[in-house]
A and B are shown apart, each in its own frame.
Chain A
């Protein structure tokens, strides 16, 4: 399992994402924003941070970087892509996911151990969870308020594309308590919480983030056995 982690100027949690990939048995591959090569990775993570400073809309500049052109192409072809926090914002700006993330209703940066409910296990990044499972994942952002028009939100709900929902309190004002969503195909997932932080009990309150990487491993494993005609 070779997982690419993109570093934009201003990416901060790229180190953490690479560590989480390694801890869960994968090989982390650093991808540079200015390169147009994905180095043949099996999946891509767009990490948290403030890409290009995010002085404009969050993710608005990163979306035009050379690496994103390749990520967009590959995502349309089914490559698993996980956007965490700033990565989620980039995915929305890139129109790989619908909607937008605006300033949180509390109007400050907010760092918290947040309860979530897994709403859909029908994605590359959530299939190791059970539907309705309650997990706790760190959030830390100032602009995580998910907004979309009513039609889009209805579509997301109807198609079971809300993957994670905030419970026991909505930290940022997101519509329908939406914490994370997926695309139609289920290979692209974006969320504000930081699963890459929740992998080590010494440095995080839970290890609930591991499920994201297990989900990917399961998906890639199944994919491999399918393409090898079940001979594995």
Chain B
């Protein structure tokens, strides 16, 4: 079959092209023709279709994401070194160190093929970090599934967990935390949000561009195969229907060993100072890498597609351009440095091939068998995709949902009922022990993990001499976001901020991963727009800029969209990781205290874990964020950690005081006797923000109380840590810590079996 060359495209303007099958809309196809002044060749059509897909072009979200631009580009520790628009944001953490971090979704592939979908999600985000010149040092993963006891969860969950572990463990990256959440809305559309964090010295920061005529374009890493063809445009942009699994071949297959070699090889190439521009190959493969590199530089680019090393020599040029084969990088190198480049690649046994060069002019020209099959302005491919002002509508049902508050739900009448509900909430799938998942991840490799799950955030030592470190937490509260997308996004941000702060680290910047339903649904777009505005308001108030992010749309099963799930990844800095504070009680006789806003807020039962677990209910209004109190709490925690005033600290979030108290006791292996002011039910289960549960030596009580007051907070001692193995709430109930621990540990294994049965 003859190849559709540029000359052929000019000569045959009337040819019918499969633009619709490739995911393009009629007007998008028209604008491609307008840009080119002719119909596209089949190769050009392949490139535009993947690069203009929702996944790559952000065409529905762009106008909203642009509003993040109004945020200051400064963290509490100084200006951002790189921000939105780069492959990952870069934050100055002091002492000449910088940290880059980013989260990315791999939701749809993980439903189709859980193991490979999740594995390649980890691999992709790690390459983004690597492309900034940073050494990847840790992973986190935020996972959402249908109900724990739903049949397909037993297929999807073990596969995804094994994939995250199988890939990350083999790269030698500690997995330091994340989330595991169950809700019916994710049943046919699990969420896999992988976060990677990397470390670099300021002077080692690299940004992608192709400069200097005559410089060589090198493709290195794995060979190019037929996996993942059309993945970006088809899988990420359309929802699943009954024939979902038939799309299996579209999911990429990962080779973590190759990625490990690619990491070490790339870091050595950076060290040698011979990389002029670099880009990882992820979604849209060579189409993306060449058009992004070329449009970011000041010249054009010529690529000879015949030179791309193939796994399968029957691939067509269109397929080579679209292939999403993993573990590949592209970079631009001066001819004088080629020898050194190939020498380093040979040391790591990484295949490297010159496939083209930077040229005069501004065209990206790609040849196949000596004929030109692509001749485009790369900027139109990479950055001038369609931008949609999609209609947005506040759902008619929103008011009904808000009106359906928890006020009418029966509350426990006796101590026995309260105890039963306490147990039910603490041991429910969302609050129960997640070791079944996290024990499948290596949390120790590289020897710098100062905190990992089940602590409130993961923490890494960056500098072994000084103890400088970073803390990271990922949070999304989809239930609150469903009730009020603006406030829900704010609360998700506050929770991540608080999770970082309670360990003693200063929250400095965020990345986001915004998981929503179909953008073609005006109600989803309203949720999305509201959530963005909520994040902006929160980031302004807390002084934490957005460094970058990811949007995943079309998360739905059939016509049912997922609850809006805006994930926030918060980065914190701690001057010395030895000061970190853990969540578990430490010593008998320590006082237990609640610290929070001086004026307690209201609400917090609507949208709570209690409402979900005990009544299967979602309705009403989420609590209001309290930014001044969140910031006061962070300052208190940072100071208290520095001065070694605390034995433990645990944030209050899902499940309120009930869950915090239970977890601090279980993790410490110590009991607790508390007496609560006010209504025991309200005190235990409300989920108002800006609060933490502390324990400390009685001698530290006064200094902590005045410190809390100085930051506008109240510190209320509610009880004592005991060696009696029970949690007792005066006047209401006591439960055996042994039974509670056993039940808390058993929830997930009971549903999924010991280990992953395959």
Interface residues of A (CB under 8 A from B): 9-10, 12-13, 15-16, 19, 48-50, 52-55, 104-112, 138, 140, 194, 196-197, 200, 202-204
Contacts and interface: CB of A to CB of B under 8 A. Distances in A.
Contacts of B444: 111, 138, 140, 194, 197, 203-204
23 contacts: A10-B170, A12-B445, A13-B445, A15-B446, A15-B447, A16-B446, A48-B445, A50-B260, A52-B257, A105-B755, A107-B757, A108-B756, A109-B169, A109-B440, A110-B755, A111-B438, A111-B443, A111-B444, A112-B439, A196-B447, A202-B450, A202-B461, A202-B578
B755 A16 contact: no
A13 B260 CA distance: 13
A154 B135 CA distance: 47
B440 A110 contact: yes
A55 B170 CA distance: 11
Given A10-B170, A13-B172, A15-B447, A107 B755 contact: yes
B441 interface: yes
B162 interface: yes
Nearest to B757: A107
A57 B464 CA distance: 35
Given A49-B172, A107-B755, A202 B445 contact: no
B445 A16 contact: yes
B257 A108 contact: no
Given A19-B447, A106-B755, 12 more contacts: A9-B261, A9-B349, A10-B257, A48-B445, A52-B257, A53-B255, A108-B440, A108-B755, A109-B442, A111-B438, A111-B442, A203-B447
A140 B165 CA distance: 11
A15 B256 CA distance: 19
B754 interface: yes
A140 B257 contact: no
B257 A50 contact: yes
Interface residues of B, number: 38
A198 B213 CA distance: 52
Majority secondary structure, A binding face: loop
Given A9-B349, A197-B444, A111 B757 contact: no
Interface in B252-281: 255-258, 260-261
Given A107-B756, A107-B758, A10 B260 contact: yes
B226 interface: no
Contacts of A107: 755-758
B577 interface: yes
Contact of A111 (B440, B467, B756): B440
A48 B170 CA distance: 10
Contacts of B348: 9
A10 B350 CA distance: 13
Interface string B460-503: 01001001000000000000000000000000000000000000
B230 interface: no
Contacts of A109: 162, 165-166, 169, 440-442
B449 interface: yes
Residue in B171, B448, B467 with the greatest tally of chain A CB atoms within 10 Å:
B448
A118 to B, nearest CB: 21
Interface string B418-453: 000000000000000000001111111111111000
Contacts of A15: 446-447
A19 B464 CA distance: 10
Contacts of B461: 202-203
B125 to A, nearest CB: 19
Contacts of A104: 755
Contacts of B577: 202
A53 B165 contact: no
A98 B343 CA distance: 39
B256 A53 contact: yes
A12 B256 CA distance: 12
A203 B755 contact: no
Residue in B162, B439, B445, B450 with the greatest tally of chain A CB atoms within 10 Å:
B445
A65 to B, nearest CB: 12
Residue in A15, A138, A140 with the greatest tally of chain B CB atoms within 10 Å:
A140
Interface of B: 162, 165-166, 169-172, 255-258, 260-261, 348-349, 438-450, 461, 464, 467, 577-578, 754-758
Nearest to B460: A203
B754 A106 contact: yes
A204 B433 CA distance: 21
| Top 8 A-B residue pairs of the complex, sorted by shortest distance between their CB atoms | A53-B257, A106-B755, A12-B172, A108-B756, A16-B447, A108-B755, A140-B442, A197-B444
B756 A203 contact: no
A110 B441 CA distance: 7
A13 B758 CA distance: 28
Contacts of A16: 445-447
Given A203-B447, A203-B449, A55 B257 contact: yes
B256 to A, nearest CB: 7
A112 B438 CA distance: 10
A104 B162 CA distance: 14
Contacts of A13: 172, 445
A13 B444 CA distance: 9
Contacts of A12: 170-172, 260, 445
Residue in A49, A53, A111 with the greatest tally of chain B CB atoms within 10 Å:
A111
A200 B754 contact: no
A5 to B, nearest CB: 13
A91 B109 CA distance: 39
Nearest to B158: A108
Contacts of A19: 447, 464
A140 B445 contact: yes
A194 to B, nearest CB: 7
A111 B449 CA distance: 14
Nearest to A13: B445
Given A16-B446, A109-B165, A203-B449, A53 B170 contact: yes
A54 B255 CA distance: 11
Contacts of A105: 755
A55 B467 CA distance: 37
Contacts of B170: 10, 12, 50, 53
A49 B256 CA distance: 12
Contacts of B162: 108-109
Nearest to B441: A111
Nearest to A55: B257
A111 B439 contact: yes
A150 B204 CA distance: 56
B579 to A, nearest CB: 10
A55 B758 CA distance: 18
B447 A200 contact: yes
Contacts of A110: 439-440, 755
A109 B173 CA distance: 14
A103 B450 CA distance: 30
Residue in A10, A107, A108, A140 with the greatest tally of chain B CB atoms within 10 Å:
A108
Contacts of A194: 444
A13 B464 CA distance: 17
Nearest to A53: B257
A112 B256 CA distance: 23
Residue in A15, A52, A107 with the greatest tally of chain B CB atoms within 10 Å:
A107
Residue in B441, B443, B447, B467 with the greatest tally of chain A CB atoms within 10 Å:
B447
A49 to B, nearest CB: 7
Contacts of A203: 444, 447-450, 461
A12 B755 CA distance: 24
B126 to A, nearest CB: 14
A9 B257 contact: yes
